[in-house]
């Protein structure tokens, strides 16, 4: 389903490469707000535009600032730190209104449950829960839980409305990850079973596995064809020891089906509580979901073009999604290779040309390498291609004139 311009609104991007917007969801019958963090290279004028993996973040109003900063730090090569690829982060915010579209006003003033001690958002409960249930974590009924059970519609909104919107307006690839904490983690578990072809990886942090008498755990136990990278993290919480055991059993159930297409990791954080877990859990979850991406000390060791090529082929095969080595990354390796092997520098620049044949900068760099290795004809050929692709390339124009003499 595509959304018309009147259905959506995107604000100007800020200096941190983020944009805020909203769309009207026909599935949910309401407007939904989101914030998108774009990669640092998204608007780079030097390199050829490429598609980026996408991460969907639930409870976006809580975690967007942290996760967007974390992803930039892990992906842009500060001190050689390429732990994960650059990605597009889209954080979905919870609606705060109790009466919007299909949602009805909810009076919980007479409800004496402990849930009143914290700010209760019935909209979040509705979106994150896969079934309708009145049972709280302690087994007692809670009247205000009657709004629960909208998780199927919420995931349908992501799949049929938000993803098409994202792909129509941004360079988003088909690799998609989803992150959720607590009830958000429950929603991620639901996505694993109902939208397994939509997402490639799942990060669930202290997921509310207790919901509706362990409904999701029982459902996952019946699955035998799940795929993707699954990461489960738990915090230290004496009151939730029982549920941690259930999560370990869930991990064991999934691990029994471990294969080349399903990779499961479970990690406990004894020094974190339920509220602080996302800080450590999201970082380690990203490492798991993008395992095999990072090269060992690329700015210390020297890598050949063939090694780079094989590394990314293996990563793409593992994750069932093609991911080419970033053009700017290989370009840096190429110029660095001049110091030890000029022939290998040429090979690295050739790798970029093969992967990004319409990149003027890739041809320009290869032309420069050929010139330095005294291959005048090939240098001239690639300078001409660079100028053809970018008419404003004054350097290429001047080099063509010099090499043609």
d(CA 188, CA 290): 17
d(CA 365, CA 138): 64
Q: How many residues does the chain have?
A: 405
Q: Please list the residues that pair with 265 across neighbouring strands.
A: 231
* In the chain, ranges of CATH 1.25.40.10 domains: 305-403
Residue 390 pLDDT exceeds 80: yes
Mean pLDDT of 232-243: 76
d(CA 335, CA 347): 11
CB-based burial, 61-89: b 16+ in 10 Å, e otherwise: ebbbeebbebbbebbbbeeeebbbbbbbb
Backbone φ, ψ for residue 202 (5° rounding): -140, 125
Please give the structure tokens belonging to residue 250.
């869930």
Query: How high is the pLDDT of residue 160?
Result: 97
Q: CA angle at residue 84 from 81 to 85, to 5 degrees?
A: 105
* In the chain, ranges of CATH 3.40.50.1820 domains: 5-289
Q: Tens digits of per-residue pLDDT, 172-201?
A: 999 999 999 999 999 999 999 998 889 999
Q: CA angle at residue 234 from 233 to 235, to 5 degrees?
A: 135
Mean pLDDT of 367-392: 96
Residue 82 pLDDT exceeds 90: no
pLDDT category of residue 247 using cuts at 50, 70 and 90:
confident
Most confidently predicted of 131-145, 225-239, 365-379:
365-379
The two beta strands, 88-92 and 30-37, are antiparallel
Query: How high is the pLDDT of residue 386?
Result: 96
Please give the structure tokens belonging to residue 288.
């798991």
Query: How high is the pLDDT of residue 229?
Result: 94
> Residue 26 has what DSSP assignment?
T
Is residue 53 within 8 A of residue 173, CB to CB? The reply is yes
Residue 266 pLDDT exceeds 50: yes
Mean pLDDT of 344-355: 97
Please give the structure tokens belonging to residue 7.
């259905």
Q: What is the CATH number of domain 5-289?
A: 3.40.50.1820
d(CA 306, CA 81): 21
Residue 206 pLDDT exceeds 70: yes
Mean pLDDT of 110-121: 52
Would you list the DSSP string of 173-231? EEEEEEEEETHHHHHHHHHHHH-TTT-SEEEEES--TTHHHHHHHHHHHT-S---EEEE
Query: How high is the pLDDT of residue 83?
Result: 92
Query: How high is the pLDDT of residue 135?
Result: 85
Mean pLDDT of 289-296: 91
DSSP H or E run through 293: none
Mean pLDDT of 267-290: 94
Q: Tens digits of per-residue pLDDT, 133-180?
A: 988 887 788 888 899 999 999 999 999 999 999 999 999 999 999 999
**What is the distance between the terminal CA atoms of the chain, rounded to a whole angstrom?**
57
Look at the alpha carbons of 109, 112, 113, 116 in this order and tell me if their dihedral is positive or negative: positive
Q: CA angle at residue 208 from 205 to 214, to 5 degrees?
A: 130
Q: Tell which residue, 43, 33, 36, has the closest CA to residue 18.
A: 36
Q: What is the CATH number of domain 305-403?
A: 1.25.40.10
């Amino acid at each position: 389903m595509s959304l018309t311009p009147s259905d959506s609104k995107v604000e100007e991007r800020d200096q941190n490469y983020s944009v805020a917007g909203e769309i009207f969801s026909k599935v949910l019958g309401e407007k939904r707000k989101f914030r998108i963090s774009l990669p640092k290279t998204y608007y780079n004028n030097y390199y050829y535009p490429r598609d980026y993996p996408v991460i969907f973040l639930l409870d976006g109003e809580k975690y967007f600032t942290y996760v967007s900063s974390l992803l930039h730090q892990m992906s842009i090569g500060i001190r050689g730190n390429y732990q994960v690829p650059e990605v597009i982060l889209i954080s979905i915010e919870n609606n705060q209104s109790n009466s919007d579209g299909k949602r009805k006003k909810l009076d919980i003033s007479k409800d004496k449950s402990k849930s009143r001690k914290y700010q209760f958002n019935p909209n979040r409960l509705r979106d994150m829960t896969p079934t309708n249930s009145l049972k709280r974590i302690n087994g007692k009924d809670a009247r205000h839980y009657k709004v629960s059970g909208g998780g199927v519609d919420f995931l349908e909104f992501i799949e049929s409305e938000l993803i098409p919107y994202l792909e129509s307006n941004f360079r988003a690839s088909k690799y998609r990850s989803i992150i959720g904490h607590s009830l958000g983690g429950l929603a991620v578990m639901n996505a694993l079973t109902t939208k397994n072809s939509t997402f490639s990886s799942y990060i669930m942090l202290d997921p509310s596995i207790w919901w509706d008498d362990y409904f999701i755990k029982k459902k996952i136990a019946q699955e035998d064809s799940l795929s993707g990278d699954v990461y489960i993290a738990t915090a230290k919480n004496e009151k939730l020891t029982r549920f941690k055991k259930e999560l370990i059993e869930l991990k064991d159930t999934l691990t029994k089906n471990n294969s080349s297409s399903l990779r499961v990791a479970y990690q406990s954080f004894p020094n974190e509580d339920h509220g602080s877990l996302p800080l450590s859990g999201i970082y380690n979850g990203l490492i798991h979901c993008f395992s095999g991406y990072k090269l060992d000390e690329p700015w210390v060791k020297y890598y050949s073009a063939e090694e780079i090529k094989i590394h990314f082929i293996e990563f793409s095969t593992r994750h069932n999604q093609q991911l080419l080595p970033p053009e700017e990354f290989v370009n840096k390796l190429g110029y660095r290779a001049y110091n030890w092997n000029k022939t290998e520098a040429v090979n690295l620049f050739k790798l970029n040309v093969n992967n990004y044949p319409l990149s003027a900068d890739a041809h320009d760099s290869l032309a420069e390498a050929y010139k330095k290795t005294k291959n005048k004809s090939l240098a001239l050929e690639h300078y001409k291609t660079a100028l053809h692709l970018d008419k404003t390339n004054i350097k290429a124009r001047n080099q063509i004139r010099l090499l043609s003499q």
